[in-house]
Amino acid sequence: MKYTPFYDRHLQSGAKMVEFTGYSMPIQFKGIILEHHAVRQKCGLFDVSHMGELLLTGKNAFDTIQNLITNDISSLQNNKARYTLMANMRGGVVDDIIVYKFHDERYMLVVNAANTQKDAEWVKRHLIGDARFENISEITALIALQGALAESVMKEIFDMKDLPQKYFSFTTPRFSGEEVIISRTGYTGEDGFEIYCSNNLGLRIYDELIEKGKDFGLELCGLGARDTLRMEAGMPLYGHEMDDSTLASEINLDFAIKTDKPYFIGKEALTNIRPKYKRIGLKLIDRGIARQNAKVYDEENEVGIVTSGTHSPTLGYPIAMARVNIDTDANELYVEVRNKKLKAEVVPLPFYKRK
């Protein structure tokens, strides 16, 4: 079992711990719904140090990344981040990641915890020229402060000028003598920040955020709330909405696939293979919760499967994301839960969008 630097803090806070991708992680503190609402209405603090961080440096770092990703970073400016997929030769999804650009010869890839090892091997195998690779996951703490009041809490600790203003931008201020990376990103559908730093400094920042956050209704949040928040925001999760065998063009993330780029791994497959499936949102009309792998039907046939599902705390009804045949055009579908077919309405993603 692996542990994040905040493991002792979690135990002291009374977290319920679970094993997740080899790490002992908090699934909840006071309760998933309470934590969920805290993020939607005030702010919540997450330890997401299990995520992987891979550094790429050197003159050919750019070429290496362009070759690895489906999106295009040729227009990406310094101190900006971009969401992308990494595809394999068959067009399947190796991972969905965020690329941070410090400058022309220095980048960081933030990858899913479950994929860190696989991605590290994948990237190393595809290094071009003088590109250098370093896996800094183990020495990097990652804290996410999310919610409408996240900025107010951050301002209590950091200088306003050190905080990134635009969504998907980041800063690299020094904090007590060390460089930290602060990005305006998150996985909740709210405004928020993610802070990358050394494990030791992470503890200090974590404690200070909790202390200053008291006046703002900050709650400690676990993976449970992270999952319900991302689902409401219609955000895909690797292992649910996609995996190595899911065609990257079948998950409604086409904004992150630039087939007009001269070359990238998987381009040929993604250009030539017609997608057979699409990702849709479902709002359950009948009572019940459809979870991953529940079968989806139209009036006559099986048309797909649920990839993620939960009760939406914000909306107050059950929601699900499903992978269905691309020509499914019914407004009402059925999900099979314990041998019963529950009626569901097809709704646009995201389920929830902040005002």
Partner 1 sequence: MKDLVFLPTHEWFNKKDNTIGISDFAQKELGDIVFVELPEVGDILEKGQSFANVESVKAVSEIYAPVSGEVVEVNEELLDSPELINQDAFAAWLIKVSDPEVMEDLLSYEDYIKTIKE
Residue 17 touches partner 1, criterion: CB under 8 A: no
- Using the contact rule CB under 8 A, the part of the chain among 29-37, 38-46, 143-151, 259-267 near partner 1 is 29-37
| Residue 242 Cβ vs partner 1, minimum distance, rounded to whole Å | 21
User: Does residue 169 contact residue 184 with C-beta atoms inside 8 Å?
Assistant: yes
Vertex 189 angle, CA 324 and 35, to 5° = 105
Token pair listed for 171: 């800063």
Give yes or no for residue 33 binding partner 1 (CB under 8 A).
yes
Candidates 15, 32, 65, 235: give the one binding partner 1 (CB under 8 A).
32
Measured from the CB atom, is 14 or 129 closer to partner 1? 14
Q: Is the Cβ of residue 31 or residue 217 nearer to partner 1 in the bound state?
A: 31
* Least distance CB 311 / partner 1 (angstroms): 4
Shortest separation between residue 285's beta carbon and partner 1, angstroms: 14
Here the tokens at position 332 are 């009402």
- For residue 340, the surrounding DSSP H or E stretch is strand 340-347
* Burial class (CB within 10 angstroms; exposed 0-12, middle 13-18, buried 19+) of 287: exposed
Closer by beta carbon to partner 1, 233 or else 257: 233
31 binds partner 1 (CB under 8 A): yes
Record the tokens describing residue 108, joined without a space: 């960081």
Site for partner 1 in 170-229 (CB under 8 A): 224, 228
The C-alpha atoms of residue 1 and residue 18 are separated, in whole angstroms, by 11
Residues 239-298 close enough to bind partner 1 by CB under 8 A: 287-289, 291
Binding mask 131-170 toward partner 1 (x if CB under 8 A, else -) reads ----------------------------------------
State the minimum distance, in angstroms, from the CB of residue 282 to partner 1.
15
Instruction: Copy the structure tokens of residue 338.
Output: 């314990």
Min. distance of Cβ 112 from partner 1 in angstroms? 19
Q: Number of residues in contact with partner 1, rule: CB under 8 A?
A: 18
Interaction of residue 310 with partner 1, rule CB under 8 A: yes
| DSSP code string of 57-107 | ESTTHHHHHHHHBSS--TTPPTTEEEEEEEE-TTSBEEEEEEEEEEETTEE
- The reply to whether 19 sits near partner 1 by the rule CB under 8 A is no
The residue to which tokens 């709002």 are assigned: 283
Residue 58 in contact with partner 1, rule: CB under 8 A: no
Longest dimension (CA), the chain: 64
Q: Choose between 31 and 275: whose C-beta lies nearer to partner 1.
A: 31
Alpha carbon 38 to its chain's center: 19
Any residues with CB less than 8 A from the CB of 206 and at least 6 apart, and which? 6, 9, 45, 47, 141, 143
Nearer to partner 1 by C-beta: 248 or 284? 284
Q: Which two tokens stand for residue 223?
A: 């993976």
Contact residues for partner 1 (CB under 8 A)? 16, 27-28, 31-34, 224, 228, 287-289, 291, 310-311, 313, 318, 338
